[in-house]
């Protein structure tokens, strides 16, 4: 069958390097060539899922399972968010994240020279939310089509950020303990916690890159990258708050500390605007719009503090020195069309680029145009291909058992 234009827009430079010990270099999942059949099947499942959501009697009904990756299923209500009428939800993003991490694991495990491998991990979006104690309604699949709450689904008399103290207990319970391998050392959980003592690791090697997808107020997705080689923590955003790099000084005001425990109605617009001036961000809009911009600063600040705290809990201890690390907001991510809801596509593709050791310069205008046109179809195709592969594997197992 004929191929879509995506196959001719991928420069060879994207796939050069970081191939691990003689293995082929990694690919970017969303840029796999789509056949005419792929496009037709993607359109069919997206349309079918959208019709289901628009006609369902029970808003909590997620519909049929379209695909599953380990414990992360995609239902019709999730796939319906690929139709362009609303933001792509967290279940779709997490499915893609699973595929990125599986790609990395296979690349490392298949390599004859694991030390030469570029190792990375992409977290689920819940991690940063828990790290700052962020309250609010997640963009789950069981919700009716509607305009989402303006700010986190939090009422005026509720506290949007409870702070890192409340969230730290949850982080120790995360399965896989990926965050305990960031220095290639074993981590000792706090005495009395669920994970007391040594815990299993994702890789035997240290991570080169940790990518933390972030969600702002159920309206926007971006990537926070922790680059352990360059000692940088960077926000990559398809709707940046400035056209130039914005460095976040370690001596600057901590945004989370400024708002923690404060209800929405008690947020001080004067204080928030002062923070904007300090970090060279536009203070235009009401206090919720201003807080929306400041959350980018909050996320990179808290990611650094987390890395620093984790370093102190590894054996041997890793000393993370502020003067050696840079944290900043980068304008390198191509800008999306602000009139559409494609921020999750950029977030997923950006995470994939960072996970294979590349930078945003590989995203040429032609590729960006293709992502805007066919990115949602590509996401649906990945889910359908996973379902097809699982069905084939299941059939082979059943056939072998009957012999």
Q: What is the pLDDT of residue 71?
A: 77
Q: What is the pLDDT of residue 72?
A: 82
Q: What is the pLDDT of residue 49?
A: 95
Count of residues in the chain = 403
Residue 267: CB atoms within 10 Å = 19
Its sign, for the CA torsion 297, 344, 366, 227, is: positive
Q: What is the pLDDT of residue 131?
A: 81
Environment class of residue 30 by beta-carbon count within 10 Å: exposed (0-12), middle (13-18) or buried (19+)?
buried
Bridge-partner residues for 326, per DSSP? 232
Question: Per 3-state DSSP, what percentage of the chain is helix, strand, and coil (rounded to 5)?
Answer: 45, 15, 40
Residue 322: CB atoms within 10 Å = 12
CB 358 within 8 A of CB 26: no
CB 63 within 8 A of CB 87: no
Q: What is the pLDDT of residue 187?
A: 44
Its sign, for the CA torsion 66, 176, 164, 285, is: negative
Cβ density class 198-214: b for 16+ within 10 Å, e for less: ebebbbeeebbbbbbbb
Q: What is the pLDDT of residue 396?
A: 57
Q: What is the pLDDT of residue 178?
A: 46
Q: What is the pTM of this model?
A: 0.85
Closest alpha carbon to 224 in 306, 163, 138: 306
Tokens 């201890």 correspond to 317
Q: How far is CA 200 from CA 103, 111, 181, 187, 260, in A?
A: 20, 21, 9, 9, 33
Strand 220-227 to strand 314-315: parallel, antiparallel, or no bridges (unpaired)?
A: unpaired
Residue 75, token pair as written in the block: 């239902």
Closest alpha carbon to 123 in 152, 99, 94, 102: 94
Closest alpha carbon to 383 in 2, 86, 35, 72: 72
Closest alpha carbon to 341 in 262, 244, 239, 257: 239
Q: Which regions of 1-155 does DSSP assign to beta strands (E)?
A: 65-69, 72-75, 120-122
CB 159 within 8 A of CB 262: yes
Q: What is the pLDDT of residue 245?
A: 92
Give dist(CA 101, CA 69) in Å, integer: 11
Which of the 8 DSSP states describes residue 252? S
**pLDDT of the chain, 403 residues: tens digit per residue:** 333 444 444 444 454 555 565 555 567 888 888 899 999 999 999 999 999 999 998 888 999 999 998 778 899 999 999 998 888 989 999 999 999 988 888 888 787 777 778 888 888 888 888 788 776 544 444 444 433 334 556 678 888 888 765 444 444 444 344 444 555 544 444 444 434 343 334 445 577 888 999 988 777 899 999 998 899 999 999 987 888 899 999 999 999 999 988 888 899 999 999 999 999 998 988 888 888 889 999 999 999 988 887 777 666 667 788 999 999 999 999 998 878 889 999 999 999 999 999 999 888 888 888 888 999 999 999 999 999 988 887 765 555 555 5
Give dist(CA 354, CA 330) in Å, integer: 13
User: Rounded to the nearest 5°, which phi and psi values hold at 233?
Assistant: -125, 120
H/E stretch holding 288 reads helix 287-312
Q: Is 59 helix (H, G, I), strand (E, B) or coil?
A: coil
Q: What is the pLDDT of residue 151?
A: 54
């Amino acid at each position: 069958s004929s191929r879509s234009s995506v196959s001719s827009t991928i420069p060879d430079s994207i796939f050069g390097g970081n191939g691990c010990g003689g293995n082929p270099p990694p690919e970017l999942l969303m840029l796999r060539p789509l056949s005419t059949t792929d496009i037709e099947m993607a359109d069919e499942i997206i349309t079918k899922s959208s019709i289901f959501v628009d006609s369902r009697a029970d808003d909590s009904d997620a519909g049929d399972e379209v695909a599953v990756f380990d414990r992360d299923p995609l239902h019709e209500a999730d796939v319906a968010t690929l139709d362009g009428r609303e933001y792509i939800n967290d279940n779709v993003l997490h499915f893609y994240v699973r595929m990125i991490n599986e790609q990395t694991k296979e690349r490392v495990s298949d390599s004859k020279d694991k030390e030469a491998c570029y190792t990375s991990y992409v977290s689920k979006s819940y991690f940063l939310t828990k790290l700052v104690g962020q309250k609010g309604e997640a963009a789950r699949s069981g919700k009716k089509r509607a305009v989402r709450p303006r700010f986190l689904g939090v009422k005026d008399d509720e506290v949007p950020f409870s702070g890192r103290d409340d969230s730290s207990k949850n982080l120790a319970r995360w399965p896989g303990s990926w965050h305990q391998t960031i220095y290639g050392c074993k981590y000792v959980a706090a005495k009395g916690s669920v994970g007391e003592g040594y815990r299993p690791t994702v890789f035997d090697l240290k991570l080169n890159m940790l990518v933390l997808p972030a969600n702002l107020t159920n309206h926007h997705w971006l990537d926070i990258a922790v680059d352990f080689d360059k000692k940088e923590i960077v926000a990559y955003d398809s709707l940046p708050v400035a056209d130039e790099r914005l460095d976040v000084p370690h001596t600057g005001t901590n945004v989370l500390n400024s708002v923690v425990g404060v209800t929405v109605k008690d947020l001080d617009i004067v204080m928030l605007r002062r923070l904007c001036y300090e970090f060279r961000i536009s203070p235009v809009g009401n206090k919720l719009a201003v807080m929306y911009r400041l959350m980018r600063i909050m996320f990179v600040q808290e990611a650094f503090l987390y890395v620093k705290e984790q370093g102190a809990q590894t054996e041997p201890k890793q000393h993370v020195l502020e003067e050696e690390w840079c944290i900043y907001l980068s304008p390198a991510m191509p800008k999306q069309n602000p009139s559409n809801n494609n921020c999750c596509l950029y977030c997923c593709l950006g995470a994939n680029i960072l996970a294979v050791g590349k930078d945003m310069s590989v995203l040429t205008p032609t590729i960006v145009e293709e992502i805007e046109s066919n990115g949602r179809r590509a996401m649906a195709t990945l889910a359908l291909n996973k379902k097809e592969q699982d069905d084939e594997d299941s059939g082979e197992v059943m056939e072998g058992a009957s012999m």
